[in-house]
Amino acid sequence: MKSKLIIAIAAMGIAVLFSSCAKVPQAEIDAATASIQEVKDAGADLYVPEAYQALVDSMKSANEKVEVAKAKWFPNYTKAKDLLAVVSQMAVDTKAKSEARKVELKAEVEAMIVEVKALVEENKGLIAKAPKGKEGREALEAIKSDVAVAETTVTEVEALLANGDLIGSNDKIKAAKEKATAIKAELEEAIAKKGGK
Amino acid sequence: MGSVNKKKIKWVIVILLSLVVVAITISVIIVSQKTLPTEDLRIAREALSEAKEAEANLYAEKLYKQSVQMYDSAMSNWSRENERFILFRDYDKVINFAKKSKKIADEAKEESIKKADNLSKNVEAAFVRLTKKIELYNKLFKDLPLSKSVFDAHNKSKMFLSESKIAHETGKLKEAEVLFKKADIYINHANTAASKMLRDYFGDYPKWKNQANDAIAASRGGNKVILVDKVAHKLYVYQSGKLIRNYDVEFGPNWMAHKERSGDKATPEGNYHIVKKKERGSTTYHKAMLLNYPNADDRARFEQKKRQGLISRGAGIGNLIEIHGNGGRGFDWTSGCVGMRDRDIDDLYRLVGSGTRVTIVGSIESLSAITEGVDF
C-alpha cells in the first residue's frame, strides 16, 4: 500500500516536471513576427494604418501572454498560441486589405490622370479658340503657363505612381485636377465673353 | 534485520517526499504572492496605442520613442526574469519600466495633440497669408507684362497651395506644412519680382503727373484732349478741364515699357496727336486713329540709345501706333496700339478729330492710391 503511495507521488513529480517544461511557442512567435513584417513591407502601415496598428497591438498582447505563461510554475501556452494564430490570420487579412486599397487607390489615380490629361488637352484646344489679336499668343502666356504647370504635375504624378507612391500621387493629381478645372472655367469664360461681343 | 532497514528507508523516502511537497507548496504560495506585471504592461500598451492614434510618432516623436523603448525594456526584462529560477524572479523593474512607458506615452499623446493643434492653426493661418499674397498678385500684378518665370512661380505657388490644402484636409499636417512653405517661396519670388517692376515703373510718376496736368490744362480752352492711363487701362476725354468720357482700353503685351523700337510690343508714353482717322474699310480694326509716333522726343531717345548700344543697329523705331477697335478682349493683345471696343471707338471717332492731343502716361494715380495702401 505504502509503495503504491510512493509510486503515485513519484508519478506526480514526473508529471509536474514534464508539464513545467512546456516549450515557448517560438515557431508561432517567429511566424507571426515575420507575417507582420511582410504586411508592413506591403505598405499596410500607410494604406490601412488602423488595421495595421490593431495587428501590432495584438502581437504585443500575444507576447505579453507568452510571458504570463512563462511566469507560471506550470506554463501553459495555449492562450498565447491561440492569440498568435489570430495574429497570423489578422496579418493575412490586413495584407489583403492593404493590397485591395492599393489597387483601389491606383485605379483612382489612373482615372484622375486620364481625366486631367483630357482637361489639359481640352484647355489647349480652348487656348487655340481663346480671343487673340495680333499678339494673342503672347497675351495668353499666363494661362499657358498655368496649363504647363498642370501638365508637369501629371508627369510628376506618373513618376510617383511608377515608384509606387500611391498616396503622394493621389494628393498631387487631385491638386492638378483642381487647377485644370479652374483653367477650363477661366478659358470658357473668356471665350463666352468673346462670343458675346 | 533486513526488514527493519527497508522500513527505515521507506520512512526516509516518505519524509523526504513530504518535505519536497511542503517545499513546493511553500514555493507556490510565495510565487502566487508575487505581483505579475501583466496589468501594468497592458496599460502601457494601450497608452502607447492611444499615443500612436494621436500621431505622437509624428508630433511628439522623442517622447513617443522613449515610451516605446520603456515598453520594450519592460518586455525584455520580463522575459529575462522569467528565465531565472521561479523563486528568484523580481518583476519590480518590469513594473517600473511599464509604468514609465505609460506615463511617457500619456505625455506624448498630450504633446502630440497640442502640437498638431498648433500646427493645424499655423497651417490655416499660412493658408490665409498665402491666399492674400495670391490675391495681391491677382489684384496688382496679374496684368503686368511679367516674365515667364514670374508667371510660372505664381502658378507653381497656387499648385503647391492646392496640394497643401488637400494634405491638411486629410490630416497630413507635416506634409501640408512642407507644401505651403514651397508655395510661400514661389509666391514670394513672383510677388517680389512683380512689385519691383511696379515700383521701378512708378519712378516716372512725377513726370506722368505733370504731363497729365498739362493735358487737362490744354483742354481748358474748349479743346478736346485724350489722356490715356496705361496702368488703369483707361482712355479719358477732357474738354474745358472736365472729364467728358472714359473708356476701357487694351495695349500690347509689353505695355509697361515705353516704346523704343519696332516690334517691342510696348505702348509709347508722351504727348502725341491724331494725324489720321481711318474709317471702316481703311483699317482691319473696325476704325482707327493714327498717332504721330515717333515724335521728336522718341526719335532723339531712339538715336541716343542706339549710340549707347542699348538698341541694335539694325532695329527700326517702329510706327503705325493707333487708337483702334476690335478690343474688349480682356487682355493686352495689340502690338503697342490702344485697343478699344468697337462701340467705344465709334463714339470716340465721332467725338474727336485729327490734330486732337493724345497724352499717354503710365498712371495718373500714385502707386499708393492704386494699391489702396496695400503693403507689398
Lowest average pLDDT, out of A78-82, B314-318, B346-350, goes to: B314-318
Interface of A with B in 100-129 (CB under 8 A): none
B107-122 tens-digit pLDDT: 999 999 999 999 999 9
Residue B229 CA, distance from chain mean position? 31
Whether the model pTM is above 0.95: no
How much is the pLDDT for B362? 94
Residue A16 has pLDDT above 60, yes or no: no
Residue B123 has pLDDT above 90, yes or no: yes
Q: pLDDT exceeding 70 applies to what percent of chain B?
A: 98
Q: pLDDT band for A12, please (50, 70, 90 cuts).
A: low
Per the CB < 8 A criterion, the answer to whether A159 and B290 are in contact is no
A31-87 tens-digit pLDDT: 999 999 999 999 999 999 999 999 999 999 999 999 999 988 888 999 999 999 999
- Select the residue of B71, B166, B253 nearest A174 (Cβ to Cβ): B166
Residue A3 has pLDDT above 90, yes or no: no
Q: pLDDT band for B314, please (50, 70, 90 cuts).
A: confident
Strands B224-229, B234-239: pairing is antiparallel
Residues B71 and B77: their CA atoms lie apart, in Å, by 10
Q: What is the mean pLDDT of residues A124-145?
A: 68
Q: pLDDT band for B253, please (50, 70, 90 cuts).
A: confident
Lowest average pLDDT, out of A179-193, B86-100, B171-185, B328-342, goes to: A179-193
What is A60-105 written as a DSSP string? HHHHHHHHHHHTSSS---HHHHHHHHHHHHHHHHHHHHHHHHHHHH
User: How distant is the Cα of A96 from the closest Cα of chain B, in angstroms?
Assistant: 22
Q: pLDDT band for B312, please (50, 70, 90 cuts).
A: confident
Residues B108 and B120: their CA atoms lie apart, in Å, by 18
Residue A145 CA: distances (Å) to CA of A36, A116, A132, B134, B248: 47, 16, 16, 16, 26
Nearest Cα residue to A47 out of A132, A164, A130: A164
Max Cα–Cα distance, chain A, nearest Å: 123
Neighbouring CB atoms inside 10 A of A7's CB total 10
Q: Which three cell numbers stand for residue A163?
A: 515608384
Mean residue pLDDT across chain A = 85
Q: pLDDT band for A138, please (50, 70, 90 cuts).
A: very low
Per the CB < 8 A criterion, the answer to whether A151 and A127 are in contact is no
Q: pLDDT band for A144, please (50, 70, 90 cuts).
A: confident
Q: Between B38-53 and B92-136, two packed helices, what is the crossing angle to 10 degrees?
A: 10
Per the CB < 8 A criterion, the answer to whether A45 and A52 are in contact is yes
User: Any idea which residue has 504585443 for its cell?
Assistant: A60
Superfamily name and number for B204-370: L,D-transpeptidase catalytic domain-like (2.40.440.10)
Residues A177 and A116: their CA atoms lie apart, in Å, by 5
Q: B140-149 in b/e burial notation, b at 16+ Cβ within 10 A?
A: bbebbbbeee
Interface of B with A in 163-182 (CB under 8 A): 163, 166-167, 170, 172, 175
Residues B131 and B180: their CA atoms lie apart, in Å, by 11
Strands (E), chain B: 224-229, 234-239, 242-248, 270-278, 288-291, 322-324, 338-339, 357-361
Neighbouring CB atoms inside 10 A of B1's CB total 5
B35-85 tens-digit pLDDT: 789 999 999 999 999 999 999 999 999 999 999 999 999 999 999 999 998
Per the CB < 8 A criterion, the answer to whether B212 and B223 are in contact is no
How much is the pLDDT for B113? 96
CA B48-B51-B52 angle, to 5 degrees, is: 90
User: How distant is the Cα of B42 from the closest Cα of chain A, in angstroms?
Assistant: 7
B169-204 tens-digit pLDDT: 988 999 999 999 999 999 999 999 999 998 999 999
How much is the pLDDT for B40? 96
Q: Does A142 touch chain B (CB under 8 A)?
A: yes
Dihedrals phi, psi of A134, to nearest 5 degrees: -60, -40
Q: What is the mean pLDDT of residues B252-260?
A: 87
How much is the pLDDT for A5? 60
Residues of B in contact with A71 (CB under 8 A): 36, 78, 81-82, 89
Q: In what order do the strands lie in the sheet with B288-291?
A: B242-248, B234-239, B224-229, B357-361, B270-278, B288-291, B322-324, B338-339
Q: Does A11 touch chain B (CB under 8 A)?
A: no
Q: Does A191 touch chain B (CB under 8 A)?
A: no
Residues A54 and A143: their CA atoms lie apart, in Å, by 49
Neighbouring CB atoms inside 10 A of B97's CB total 24
Residue A75 CA, distance from chain mean position? 38
Contacts of B321 (CB under 8 A, 6+ apart): B259, B267, B268, B272, B290, B291, B293, B336, B337
How much is the pLDDT for B151? 86
Residues B342 and B347: their CA atoms lie apart, in Å, by 9
ipTM > 0.85 (yes/no): no
